[in-house]
Amino acid sequence: MKHDDLDVLLQDTLRAEVAAASDRIIDLEERVVMELGDRRPRLRWFQWLGQLAAPTRATRWGQIAVVGATAAVFLFLGLTLSDRIAPNTPAPQLSLQRLGTADGMQSVLFVWPAPLEAESVAVVGNFNAWEGTDLSDPDGDGIWTAQIPLAPGRYEYAFVVDGKWQGHDPRADEVIQSFGQYSSVRYIGRGGDDA
């Protein structure tokens, strides 16, 4: 048998074999489409990220929802665990915060991060005739706070920690020096930066 004859015979044989079994694939496309249903080609990871920016995808909102939910979970865990991980580390905070107004008065929050061994912290100023208002630290995290209602105006103040004067509040509007010691100044309402 010549090689060319064998080529033709081989080709005819293979084709005839498929033709004889063609009933097995007569509805293959229908079966494949039915099995696929509404599936889509699988996205590769970089394509998946890229699709978030593509505005035409029907699936975009679903993917954004997944990413949003994931971010929310991480945010929740972060907020929850941050207190557990470093409960005694004083965080940098505003020493003075305005929390609201009522009849022109503003409830001002005084905050002072003191050493953990501190036993007493007070704020003294011209709003309390330099008599001292105690700050408290109920959760023992070293952040001492007091909320004092103040009318608009200029106020000089300082903190007293275990009897020691602490007049340099880094969050004050300004710091002044008088009689050889520092005091902080805060402007509330029209006299200050919320005017």
Partner 1 sequence: MYRVQDEVSLLRASLQGETGAWGEIVSRYKDAVFGLCLGFMRNRADAEDISHDAFIRAYINLRKYDLERRFSTWLFTIAANLCRNQLRYRKNHPSTEQPLQMAGGTDPAKLVSAEDRQAKVRGALNQLPYSYRAPLVLRFYNELPYQEISEILSIPEGTVKTRIHRGKAMLKDLLEEGA
Binding site for partner 1 (CB under 8 A): 1, 3, 6-7, 9-18, 21-22, 24-25, 28-33, 35-44, 47
Least distance between partner 1 and beta carbon 13 (Å):
4
Q: Which is nearer to partner 1, 1 or 129 (CB)?
A: 1
Least distance between partner 1 and beta carbon 37 (Å):
8
Q: Which is nearer to partner 1, 31 or 190 (CB)?
A: 31
Instruction: Report how far residue 90's alpha carbon sits from residue 166's, in angstroms, rounded to the nearest whole number.
Output: 17
For residue 13 the two structure tokens come to 């044989």
Q: Which is nearer to partner 1, 10 or 69 (CB)?
A: 10
Using the 8-state DSSP alphabet, how is residue 142 labeled? Answer: S
Q: Which is nearer to partner 1, 15 or 190 (CB)?
A: 15
Residue 96, CB-side half-sphere exposure with 13 Å CA sphere: 23
Pair 83, 113: CB distance under 8 Å? no
**Opening angle at CA 95, ends 180 and 137, nearest 5:** 105
Least distance between partner 1 and beta carbon 15 (Å):
7
